[in-house]
């Protein structure tokens, strides 16, 4: 039992705790839903440019990988930080300068909803494994 606890502690400190990862994923999905809802709410606002959040892989990049070190002048430098939220570009602009396309935004909202459902299902099943292991499942 002590070995299992120290193994779980090591996982938590190394940044690979699955429960923490699921929590961060759900927070990211919540932020994305909020940004996309703002886009839909401003679909008729003149000059409004639609926004989106950085991909989740970019959010984890700084926390889950080692930083590259430039040890020689000829070596390439590591990648820079990515922004948390950004404006989307390349969309069709209406006469009043609005760049929100409702079809695209609703598709992104549906995709984000599917991702939320998947993340909560994985989290629930993962917690079910703990219940089974502890003998408390019904």
Residue 57 within a domain: no
* C-alpha gyration radius of the chain: 21
pLDDT at position 116: 93
pLDDT at position 81: 35
For residues 106-123, average pLDDT:
93
% residues pLDDT > 70 (the chain):
63
Residue 84 within a domain: no
pLDDT at position 20: 81
Task: Extract the tokens encoding 6.
Answer: 């120290």
Residue 74 within a domain: no
Residue 88 within a domain: no
Residue 120 within a domain: yes
Structural domain harbouring 27: 19-40+98-137
Count CB atoms within 10 A of the CB of residue 86.
Answer: 12
Number of structural domains found in the chain: 1
């Amino acid at each position: 039992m002590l070995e299992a606890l120290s193994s779980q502690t090591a996982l938590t400190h190394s940044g690979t705790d699955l429960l923490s990862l699921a929590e961060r994923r759900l927070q990211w999905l919540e932020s994305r839903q909020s940004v996309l809802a703002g886009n839909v709410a401003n679909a008729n606002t003149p000059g409004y440019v639609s926004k989106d959040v950085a991909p989740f892989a970019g959010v984890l990049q700084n926390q889950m990988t080692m930083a590259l070190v430039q040890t020689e002048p000829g070596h390439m430098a590591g990648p820079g930080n990515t922004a948390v939220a950004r404006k989307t570009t390349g969309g069709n602009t209406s006469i009043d300068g609005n760049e929100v396309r409702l079809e695209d935004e609703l598709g992104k909202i549906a995709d984000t909803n599917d991702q939320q459902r998947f993340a909560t299902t994985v989290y629930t099943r993962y917690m079910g494994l703990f219940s089974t292991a502890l003998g408390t499942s019904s």
